[in-house]
């Protein structure tokens, strides 16, 4: 994919889109991922929109070293599980679920211990 992208702006947008899709596939909010990564939420938001200067510098260096095609290995195109595909019915996921929903149910078990 990145070998087909001609401009740095297009590469940054694709990187951001992939990061966002991986985050959503893990059902993480931007705030949760930013905290886990040790960055601010606005920094992650800029990355996902393809507007981060740090990511821009990475793309420029990789392009100068003729390594831009390696971005596909670094952040592969995310795949959606078959269950998610059926649930979404062709729509793109835009938000992570509320963390409270999973916590209300409690941990899953076989209920052998009852």
82: enclosing H helix or E strand: helix 82-88
Tell me the whole-structure pTM to 2 decimals: 0.66
Alpha helices, DSSP H only, in 1-114?
Answer: 8-25, 30-37, 41-48, 53-64, 71-74, 82-88, 99-105
Residue 3 lies in a domain: no
Residue 91 lies in a domain: yes
Tally the domains of the chain.
1
End-to-end CA distance of the chain: 52
The pLDDT value given to residue 96 = 75
Domain that holds residue 55: 8-105
List the CATH number of the domain containing 27. 1.10.260.40
Per-residue pLDDT, averaged over 11-16, amounts to: 91
The pLDDT value given to residue 80 = 67
The pLDDT value given to residue 103 = 46
């Amino acid at each position: 994919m990145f070998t087909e992208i001609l401009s740095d702006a297009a590469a940054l947008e694709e990187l951001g889109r992939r990061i966002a899709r991986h985050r959503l596939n893990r059902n993480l909010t931007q705030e949760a991922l930013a905290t886990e990564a040790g960055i601010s939420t606005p920094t992650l938001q800029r990355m996902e929109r393809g507007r981060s200067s740090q990511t821009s510098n990475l793309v420029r260096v990789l392009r100068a070293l003729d390594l831009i095609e390696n971005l596909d290995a670094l952040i592969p195109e995310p795949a959606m599980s078959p269950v998610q595909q059926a649930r979404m019915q062709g729509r793109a996921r835009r938000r992570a679920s509320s963390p409270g929903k999973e916590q209300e149910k409690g941990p899953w078990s076989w209920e052998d211990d009852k």
